[in-house]
Every structure is written in C-alpha cells, then in structure tokens.
Amino acid sequence: MDATARQEVDSNRSGLAEPITPGMPERPERKQGYWHIVWRQLQKNKFAMVGLYCVGFLVFVAIFADLLANDKPLLIKYDGKISSPVVTYYGVSLGLLNYPPEFQNKKFKDIAQELGDGDFIVFPPVKYSPNDYDLRYHITAPSKVHLLGTDETGRDILSRMIHGTRISLSVGIVAVSIYTLIGIILGALAGYFGGWIDIIISRFIELMMTFPTFFLIITIVAFLPPSIYNIMLVIGITGWTGVARFVRGEFYRVKNIDYVQAAHALGFTHFRIIFRHVLPNAVAPVFVTVTFGIAGAILTESGLSFLGFGVPPDQASWGSILSSSRQLLPEGWWLTTFPGAAIFFTIVVINLVGEGLRDAMDPRIAKM
Amino acid sequence: MRAYIIKRLLLMIPTLFGITLISFSIIRLAPGDPAVLKARAGSEGITDQAMAKKIIEQTQRIYGLDKPILLNFKLWTVDKNIARLKDMLKDGDVPYEIKDPLLTKIKRAGKGVVYPAMTAFLSGEGSQVFREDLIDVIINRTPLRVVEGWSLAEKESYIRDWWKNNEREYRLTGSGKLLMTFTEAQYGNWVRRLVTLNFGESFKDKRPVIDILKERVPVSIRITMTGLFLAYLIAIPIGVFSATHQYSLLDKMLTTFLFMLYSMPSFWVATMMIVYLCGGDFWNLFPVSGLHSINWQDMPIFKQLLDHVWHLILPVVCFTYGSFAFLSRMMRTGMLETIRQDFITTARAKGLSERVVIMKHAFRNSVIPIVTMLSALLPWMIGGSFIIETIFTIPGMGYLGFTSILARDYPVIMAIFTISALLDLIGILLSDITYALVDPRISYT
C-alpha cells in the first residue's frame, strides 16, 4: 500500500466517525507533560530559581556587552545629527559602513569635550572598551575612574570582565553542545546495539576517562594557534565520556521496554527507533549532566587562559585577566579578586540550576 | 572473583594500547617536525640542499623519526624501489629533486632495507652512481662508519668485509619481515622503549627523562596522597554528621558551605591565598613558592621538617578542598539514602541503639561507594596538580608538564602522559577490585 492510498483509507475511516474538520486534527491537551512537571518542581526550589535568574542576568550581560561597556557612545547628537556609533560599529567591523568623517581618527572622549549647544552624548555605563589601553593608568587599584582597577597596560578591568562574560558563556555552551552530541551518538550506539560495538565504545570511554584530561587539553591547545574556537573544539572532543556513559546506560534500560519491541515488530529501521523512539525517552536526564558540564567547561577555559594557553591576548576572558595578575603576585589584589569572583559566581549559579534540575527530574520526588 | 580480576586485567590491554597510541599521537599532532626544528638550529647558513637534508636525517635517526609512523609497509616494496632506483640511474646521475623521494622511501624501510640493498650491491650490477647511493643507504641503516675521503673501492671492500660477519643479523625471512612491519615503525619503537622505561632524553635538559621523573614524581605523589588522605579523613565524619542531623541549622550551614567550596576554582583560591596571605598588601603568613626556604640546608632537622610543612600548607589546602567538598557531599547523600532503607528500620525496630544503627549498619554500607570514588578523583587530582604546582612553583610532575609544554620538550611530555595515565589505570583497577571484594551483592559475570 503506498502512502497516498493509506492516507485515503485513514481519511475515510475518520470520515465515518466524525465530520471532517479542515487542518490538523485537534489533540486533547496534555495537562501534565514531563517537562511541565519538571518545571513546576523547579519553581518550588527557591535556590534553583535564584540561580536561573542569575544565569539569565549573565546571558543578558553577554549579549549586550557592547552596550554595557564601550568607548563609543550609545547615542550622540553632533552638529545637529543624531547617530549611534555603537550600532554603526557593527557595520564598520563588517566592512559595510564607515563612520561619518567628523568621527574618523578622533576619540569620542575628545568629541565629548567640544559639543555645541543642543548637542548631547550618551555613553554606556562603563566608558571603556576591553582593549582601550591607557598607560597613564598602568596597574591602578580600584578608583572612581576605573571602578575595578586596571591591568598592566591600563585596560579597564570592569569592561574586560563584562566582555569576558561573552567568552566564558559561549565556550561553555558550544563546547558542551559538541560533546553532548558526540556523547549521545556514541552512547546510543553502544547501548542500543550492544555486543562488539558496545565493547569497543566502552573501551574508548574508559580510555578517555583514564587520561588526565586537563593535561591532554593543555597539550593540544598549546600546539594549536591560540583561538577561542580551538578551545571549544578541544573541550568538546575530550569531554564526552560522561554523557556517553549515561546515554549508554539509559539505552540499555529503555531498549527492552515493550514499545521498543513493538517498533521492532513494525519493521522500523534502527535509525528511526534510535532517534524517534528510544532517544526522546532516554535523553531527559542528560540535561542535568549538560548543566553541570557548562560549569565545568567554563572552569576549564578559565584555567587554560589562566595558564596562558587560552584565548589570544587581545580577547578578554576572566581567566586571562586572572593570568595577568600572575606576574604581579602577591601584589595586585583587584586583578585576582574580581575576575575570580565572576568565575565563582557563574559556577555557583549554574550548579544551583543543575542541582535544582536534578532534584526536579528525580522520579521519587515528582510522584509526591 | 578471580575470573573477574583476570577479565579486568585482560581488558586493560586494549586500554593500555590506546593510552600509548594517544600519547604517541600527541607528538605527531605537534606542528613542525621536532627533528627539523632541532636540526634547523644547527644548520644555519648551510645552503647546500643535500647537506641540509643529511643533517636533518641524522637528527631524525637519533630520535627514530625517520621511520613510518604506525606500520612499516615500505619493507614490502623495498625490492621494487631498489630496482626502480637502479633503472633511474642506469645512465648516470639525475637531479637531486627527482632522486630524493625514491631514496627516502627506500630508507624508510628501516633495518629491513639492508638485506635487499646488500643483495643488489653484491650482485655487482648497476651504474656507479647507483652503487654509491646504495652504500649511502646501507651506511644510514647500519652502525657502519665510513671515513670521509675514502674511494668507492675502499668503501666497497669495507662493507663486504663487514657483511661476512653480520649477514645473519639482517637476513629477512617471512615472519621476520612481518615482525619488522611493527617494530621498524615509530610507534613500535616507542612502545618498545616504553616497556623498558626508556623515555629517551629531554630536549631541554639533555638528561634522560627517567632521571627527571625520578626526582619529580615522588613530590607529586606525596602531595596527592597527603591531600587525598586529609580529604577522606575530614569528609567522612562531616558527611555522616550532616546526614544524621539532616535539616538542622549546622547541617544547612555545612551543606551551603560545601556547595560554595565545591564551586570555587582552585587556581582562584590559590592566587587569592597568595595575594591575601603571602605578603602583598595584606598579611604575610606563608611563603609564596617552593618546597623549602633558601637556608633550608643549614637548619636543624626538626626545623627542616617544620619549614617543609610550612611551605606545603597552602598547596595542600588548595589541592584538597575540592575533593574534600565533593567527598563530603557524596558521603551525605549516600548516608541519607542508606538510612531510608528497610534494614535500618529493622535494626531500629530490633531495639539497637542509634549509635550502633548508624555506625555499624548505615555507615558501613554507605562508605563503600565513597572509597571507590578514588578512581574518579585520581585523574582530577593529577589535572589539578598541574595548576597548583605551577602557581606555587612546586617541582612536581604537574609543574614539569607545564614547563615541558612551554619548551616543546616532547620526550618529557610523552613520558608524563603515559605515567599519569598508568597511575590512573592502576587506581581505577584497585578501586574496582576493592568494590567487588567488599560488596557481595554485585555479581561480575
């Protein structure tokens, strides 16, 4: 029976029972979906919700870093023309736009001095770009000018930290996405097929777990040109063992349940059974691993940057700010305290969300 | 049980193979051939291409980098390649660029090149250039030393004499050829040297790597063991206390504190300690780096010990607190789960005192998984030693790894890789066996 014929039979059948309605047949609304329960449980957990809001705040800072800390004004009215250099900058860096001639080869801070009547200039909350060096402010402690102090080339620490949020969060998310993908695929293959495939993949997992991963990452990263993408990739390639082990176990559990047997009996392909039937039922708890994984990846990146193997020098990352404090030790407390606190804060809030999620997904609690 | 241990030991073999393979690939992954990098330093100013090539070949030979990487298949085509060379050179010499790729291919057969080359040489055929090149190849692959300025005839007679006594060693049989396919490759060489604990010589210090490791590894093991011991010693009682006093004020405070501790990056804690405790703008309580004070040698033995401990306090704290927080949390969760089980209710119903219920029934059952956490902690601690030792400049394996990576000292990097992976593997095996021994519920079939 080909597809169209089957559709006809289906529509005939439904036609017998009820009048044909145009469009999609209406589904009875499920009141208690799995994620619905999890979300309700999570909402009961005060700490997890605080963590979630804090993560939201960090994501906000990361996305709008350019508007929060920049040496270009958000808005300027100059010679009667209103423009937004921050936004123009995106076009300039893509090579699509040019600054108007009166702004070229000039610092906006100087322009701010020579504003005429009716002109105005609105700077972001932090008036420095992360790479704005100013040798007059070489290694200064926190002051009114630079709220969190400056580093050895007089760059503003607060601005670097705001832009560092972007690096840290994107490394965490991308690296973990890479290894979750690898882990799910390998774990699914091992758990679903068992036998030789399982033995080989399990040996591979054991092998990767035996390796001192951090040393492995440092060695590989040290040999590659410094770039944030290399770090994401290397953490992604080395970090998948936890997810793979977990997914493998879940697949072992799920694959003998009746509905999977039924799918086999219907003659579905392995591909379809793995991805359409087993995976959706096995993958939910992976989210807990992923959440903790993001914290771990952020930690690894800052550790790498701290040792000087991380991001290139012109990019700000919490780890690289900490790293610049190393030459000054034991002086320069602000270079150590603030970026480290940012890392600590991020890890804590992500771990809070992870713990909340784990508790919320625990079936023993969900039943209550 | 014995079957399980044997099975585990057998399964270690492929893992070991994988470990050596990954350690080995690290050196292949590195940009730039280390031999070329090394030779370049010595060959500045040499413009003659053939001469430069010779220097690079020499360096490569010393480090065994002139052979195929994984398996030597060049062994099986070497006869054909020699015939091709003979054909190419039958009307005299050809330009270096044309001849060189073929010569390199022939040389890559390693030790296996000698027999076919000698056969071709002894047959007396081929042009004079061909014979000169053959002599070159043979000398490259044997311990023969030719005095500069010898004539071709002198070289020939020298080689002929040598061959009479050494022919047997180089003769190729079918099985010998198969074996050489593995041993005459870089990977085979590396494994063979590994088994004999010969990690080669450090590029940087010009000392045998094994000697450097003998100095450094004990320092790291001492710190790791102290750290682990302290972590378990404090974590287990705290975990038990927290679980038995669940939801008390102290439990809540402890849980929060441990959670915070667990989330603190160790490199931050270490730098913060140096900034605030080691004489910056704040207190000056501890030394910044090293294992001893400068005048350590002159101190009386008791003071030496005290000085050593004084230097080790901060590193060990940084090294320990993470595993300590992790273990305490695990202990608390494990204990809570055990307490809720039926046999504990039974024990209480029997009228046993709370102390016996907790210490004898609950504690014993929940401490087993904690002990086996060792296998998860070891790789983590070895990774941690990297940062902590670097921050406090402690001459251990981690700091050695850091400086070796900076200096591109491949032999040392590879040795550290293998050693630390081996240590991990032994740790995992031990904790798995302990687990199987202690917990009779788990069957291993």
- Of the candidates A203, A212, A331, the beta carbon closest to that of B14 is on A203
> Of the spans A129-143, B8-22, B303-317, which averages the highest pLDDT?
B303-317
**pLDDT above 70 covers what percent of chain B?**
90
Lowest mean pLDDT among A97-106, A115-124, B73-82: A97-106
Displacement of CA B391 from its chain's centroid (Å): 22
Say if residue B269's pLDDT is above 80. Answer: yes
> Of the spans A145-159, A267-281, A316-330, A341-355, which averages the highest pLDDT?
A341-355
Q: How far, in Å, CA of A305 to CA of A221, rounded? A: 10
Segment B233-261 mean pLDDT: 91
Say if residue A2's pLDDT is above 60. Answer: no
Which residues are CB-contacts of B439 (< 8 A; sequence separation ≥ 6)? Answer: B368
**pLDDT above 70 covers what percent of chain A?**
90
Segment B305-312 mean pLDDT: 87
A325 in B contact zone (CB under 8 Å): yes
pLDDT value at residue A1:
40
Q: Between chains, do B275 and A333 touch, taking CB under 8 Å as contact? A: yes
Chain A residues touching residue B382 (CB < 8 angstroms): 212, 215
Chain A residues touching residue B402 (CB < 8 angstroms): 218, 307
> Of the spans A39-48, A289-298, B6-15, B169-178, which averages the highest pLDDT?
A289-298
* Higher-scoring residue by pLDDT: B64, B343: B343
- Kindly identify which residue of chain B lies nearest to residue A350, measuring between CA atoms: B263
Distance to chain B for A288, nearest Cα, Å: 16
pLDDT value at residue A60:
95
Lowest mean pLDDT among B44-53, B144-153, B340-349: B44-53
- Kindly identify which residue of chain A lies nearest to residue B427, measuring between CA atoms: A210
Q: Between chains, do B417 and A215 touch, taking CB under 8 Å as contact? A: yes
pLDDT value at residue A55:
95
> Of the spans A142-146, A346-350, B7-11, B434-438, which averages the highest pLDDT?
A346-350
pLDDT value at residue A367:
43
B30 in A contact zone (CB under 8 Å): yes
Distance to chain B for A134, nearest Cα, Å: 24
Segment B242-250 mean pLDDT: 89
- Kindly identify which residue of chain A lies nearest to residue B384, measuring between CA atoms: A214
Lowest mean pLDDT among A128-132, A144-148, B56-60: B56-60
Q: Between chains, do A299 and B22 touch, taking CB under 8 Å as contact? A: no
Distance to chain B for A214, nearest Cα, Å: 5
A138 in B contact zone (CB under 8 Å): no
- Kindly identify which residue of chain B lies nearest to residue A348, measuring between CA atoms: B263
B262 in A contact zone (CB under 8 Å): yes
Q: How sure is the predictor about B444, in pLDDT bands with cuts at 50, 70 and 90?
A: low
Which residues are CB-contacts of A64 (< 8 A; sequence separation ≥ 6)? Answer: none
Mean pLDDT of the residues in chain A: 82
Chain A residues touching residue B425 (CB < 8 angstroms): 210
- Please, what's the b/e burial string for B197-211 (b: 16 or more CB within 10 A of its CB; e: otherwise)? eebbbbbeeeebbbe
Segment B204-212 mean pLDDT: 85
Show the beta-strand stretches assigned E in B123-246.
none
Segment A249-260 mean pLDDT: 86
Q: Exposed, middle or buried by CB within 10 Å (0-12, 13-18, 19+), for A290?
A: buried
Q: How far, in Å, CA of A303 to CA of A311, rounded? A: 11
Q: How sure is the predictor about A26, in pLDDT bands with cuts at 50, 70 and 90?
A: low
Q: How many CB pairs under 8 A join A and B?
A: 131
pLDDT value at residue B44:
52
pLDDT value at residue A244:
92
- Of the candidates A206, A303, A329, the beta carbon closest to that of B275 is on A329
Chain A residues touching residue B278 (CB < 8 angstroms): 329-330
Distance to chain A for B298, nearest Cα, Å: 27
Phi, psi of A150 (to 5 degrees): -130, 165
Mean pLDDT of the residues in chain B: 81
Say if residue B445's pLDDT is above 50. Answer: no
pLDDT value at residue A12:
43
Q: How far, in Å, CA of B266 to CA of B286, rounded? A: 18
pLDDT value at residue A188:
92
Residue type for position A239: G
Q: Between chains, do A206 and B15 touch, taking CB under 8 Å as contact? A: yes
B430 in A contact zone (CB under 8 Å): no
Locate B364 and state its tokens. 């014993």
- Of the candidates B31, B391, B424, the beta carbon closest to that of A210 is on B424
Say if residue B252's pLDDT is above 70. Answer: yes
The CA distances from residue B319 to A209, B343, B381, B396, in Å, are: 20, 38, 7, 13
A299 in B contact zone (CB under 8 Å): yes
> Of the spans A37-41, A341-345, B140-144, which averages the highest pLDDT?
A341-345
B290 in A contact zone (CB under 8 Å): no
Q: Between chains, do A344 and B265 touch, taking CB under 8 Å as contact? A: yes
Which residues are CB-contacts of A182 (< 8 A; sequence separation ≥ 6)? Answer: A236, A237, A240, A243, A244
* Higher-scoring residue by pLDDT: A181, B423: A181
Distance to chain B for A225, nearest Cα, Å: 10
Q: How sure is the predictor about A17, in pLDDT bands with cuts at 50, 70 and 90?
A: very low
pLDDT value at residue B45:
53
Q: How far, in Å, CA of B116 to CA of A18, rounded? A: 88
Displacement of CA A209 from its chain's centroid (Å): 24
Segment B313-329 mean pLDDT: 90
B435 in A contact zone (CB under 8 Å): no
Alpha helices in B30-66 (DSSP H): 34-42, 49-62
Distance to chain B for A155, nearest Cα, Å: 21
* Higher-scoring residue by pLDDT: A171, A215: A171
Q: Between chains, do B268 and A343 touch, taking CB under 8 Å as contact? A: yes
Displacement of CA B92 from its chain's centroid (Å): 50
Q: How sure is the predictor about A62, in pLDDT bands with cuts at 50, 70 and 90?
A: very high
Locate B35 and state its tokens. 């031999």
Distance to chain B for A289, nearest Cα, Å: 15
A74 in B contact zone (CB under 8 Å): no
* Higher-scoring residue by pLDDT: A53, A21: A53
Segment B234-263 mean pLDDT: 90
Q: How sure is the predictor about A14, in pLDDT bands with cuts at 50, 70 and 90?
A: very low
Mutate to test the interface with A, among B263, B375, B381 (most CBs of A within 10 A): B263
Say if residue A30's pLDDT is above 70. Answer: no
